[in-house]
Amino acid sequence: METTLKQYAQQTGTIASLIGLVVAYLIPAAIIAIDDGVLIGLMWGEHLDNIWPNLLLGCVGIITTAYLLCGFLAHGPYSHVLAYIFKALGLTLLVLLSGTIIGSTLGFVQECDYHSWPSELGNDIFDYFVKPLYWIGIFGSIPASIIGGIWGGIVCYKQNRQENH
């Protein structure tokens, strides 16, 4: 049974998000490995307190939003590969944004000081949402855009093959 273009976009988009997660783990590992060696670089999160639940929830958020949103790439009869690539770029960055917010929410709920609200609410939001969005935006937007562009080209190629058969 042949998959529809929407199902194909969901499957390949989810795989692309998994590839993005591997790249996202390897970027800080490579930066740390320059000075401290490969093994210490691969264990980059070991010295950070309670980061693994946030990262795990962020990864689940990225995979879930990728599965839910990537089917939208197949909506609309685009004839040009650039239309697929630009829409894929937007969806990829939206998935990155969603995963960051989902992962940051756990830290916000667990660690912020509710007794200091409302005077410190702005600082808590800045620490738990703005900072992660900033850093993940800087280090994640370029690899996400590359992976999203390739994914958009692959879906466009599949759509053109289906039309020609």
pLDDT tens digits for range 54-81: 889 999 999 999 999 988 888 766 667 7
CA dist., res. 165 & res. 156, Å (int): 15
Number of domains in the chain: 1
- pLDDT 10s digits, 122-144: 888 899 899 999 998 888 899 99
Q: Which helix (H) or strand (E) holds 79?
A: none
Q: Which two tokens stand for residue 4?
A: 């529809």
Average pLDDT across the chain, whole number: 87
User: Coil, helix or strand for 126?
Assistant: helix
For the chain, what is the largest distance between any 2 Cα atoms, rounded to a whole number of angstroms? 64
Could you count the other beta carbons within 10 Å of the beta carbon of residue 48? Answer: 10
CA dist., res. 32 & res. 104, Å (int): 23
Close Cβ partners of 106 (under 8 Å, ≥ 6 residues apart): 53, 54, 57
Percent of the chain scoring above 70 in pLDDT: 96
If you average pLDDT over residues 6-12, what whole number do you get? 91
Q: Which domain holds residue 48?
A: 5-164
